[in-house]
Amino acid sequence: MRSLLTRPLTLALLVLALGALQAEAQGNWQPGDFGSVRLRLGLWEPEGDSEYWDDTFAVFTGSAGDFQDLTFGFDYLWRASANSGLQFGTTFYSGQATQAYWDYVDLDGFDISHGTSLDTWDLNALYVFRYGDWSSPIIPYAGLGGGILFWSLEEAGDFIDFSTPENEIYFADYYAEGWTWEALAMVGVEVPLGFPLVVLRRGPLPLRRGRARRRLLRLRHPRPLGLGVRGRLRLELLIRAARPAGGPRKRG
């Protein structure tokens, strides 16, 4: 999948977060209040501007956009004030693509191809500032931070051995893994969502005349119990800058 939002130094995003589990009192923050936990779902795509990607796409078909795939994760926001706090989180990604030689096919005319998979997960921390109060219909926010990105890259399939006279085709499995520092910047908007939920329960009415009348009204007149359901919808753009070093090596 390709993304029209990919720009230099942007490793992808568009995180759609639903249902923050709010532990703090909305709009009534006091020192010592807890923060909030949220689950996140988004898109991630490598920029593909390193030496490894340049060499790969010069020989094999495909582009960085082929590795765009879903990410998921969660984070915890510890509020240091009514409008700011520290956000700690982690995100997981796994993308795959099939690549073939540009200029070579086998004796039957079929592509000589292999599968490439890229997996990442990170640990990060950001300082987040929110504009406006919790009662606002739309709450914009921004954050800066950094973290550690762990990655693994695997190429498994058919390759050509150009050192042989007949350019022999062989199967191989190449693998590499490592970690690198990452810098993060994010901007987003948060829209509070909520609606009342009324549950009817049966219970006695405060009548004083006769037991039979009280029992009858108890059955015919349920008492309402007011509840509420609240959540938060967030649309977020996260910019991640990280540059893993090295390429895959043959296993075995």
| Per-residue pLDDT at 19 | 34
Q: Are 107 and 74 in contact (CB under 8 A)?
A: no
For residue 57, the domain's CATH number is 2.40.160
In a domain, 206, yes or no: no
In a domain, 10, yes or no: no
Query: Which region among 2-6, 46-50, 181-185 has the lowest average model confidence (pLDDT)?
Result: 2-6
Please state, in angstroms and as integers, the Cα–Cα distance from residue 213 to each residue in 7, 97, 200, 208, following that order: 74, 74, 20, 9
Strand 84-105 and strand 111-130: the pairing is antiparallel
- Maximum alpha-carbon separation in the chain: 107
* Mean pLDDT rounded to a whole number for the chain: 77
Residue 14 pLDDT exceeds 60: no
Domain range for residue 77?
15-196+230-250
Residue 184 pLDDT exceeds 50: yes
Q: How confident is the model at residue 111 (pLDDT cuts 50, 70, 90)?
A: very high
In a domain, 209, yes or no: no
Sequence letter at residue 221: H
Residue 158: closest CA among 118, 119, 110, 117: 110
Residue 247, φ and ψ in degrees, nearest 5: -130, 175
In a domain, 246, yes or no: yes
| Per-residue pLDDT at 251 | 54
Q: How confident is the model at residue 238 (pLDDT cuts 50, 70, 90)?
A: confident
For the stretch 157-162, contacts whose Cβ atoms lie closer than 8 Å and that sit 24 or more positions apart, written own/partner, are 157/113, 157/114, 157/115, 158/112, 158/113, 158/114, 159/112, 159/114, 160/101, 160/104, 160/112
In a domain, 225, yes or no: no
Residue 154 pLDDT exceeds 70: yes
In a domain, 173, yes or no: yes
| Per-residue pLDDT at 62 | 94
Which H or E element spans position 133?
none
| Per-residue pLDDT at 136 | 75
Q: How confident is the model at residue 105 (pLDDT cuts 50, 70, 90)?
A: very high
In a domain, 66, yes or no: yes
Q: What is the pLDDT of residues 22-39, one digit of tens each?
A: 333 344 445 545 678 888
| Per-residue pLDDT at 237 | 81
> Where are the alpha helices (H) located in the chain, listed in sequence order?
51-59, 211-220
Comparing 215 with 55, the larger pLDDT belongs to: 55
Residue 209 pLDDT exceeds 70: no
HSE-up of 51 (CA within 13 Å, CB side)?
5
Q: What is the pLDDT of residues 48-91, one digit of tens each?
A: 888 889 999 999 999 999 999 999 999 998 888 878 899 999 99
Comparing 194 with 125, the larger pLDDT belongs to: 125
pTM of this prediction exceeds 0.75: no
Strand 36-44 and strand 111-130: the pairing is unpaired
Across 103-118, average pLDDT: 95
Comparing 194 with 114, the larger pLDDT belongs to: 114
Across 226-247, average pLDDT: 68
| Per-residue pLDDT at 83 | 84
In a domain, 20, yes or no: yes
Domain count, the chain: 1
Please state, in angstroms and as integers, the Cα–Cα distance from residue 42 to each residue in 54, 85, 120, 152, following that order: 26, 22, 14, 20
Residue 141 pLDDT exceeds 70: yes
| Per-residue pLDDT at 230 | 56
Comparing 246 with 94, the larger pLDDT belongs to: 94
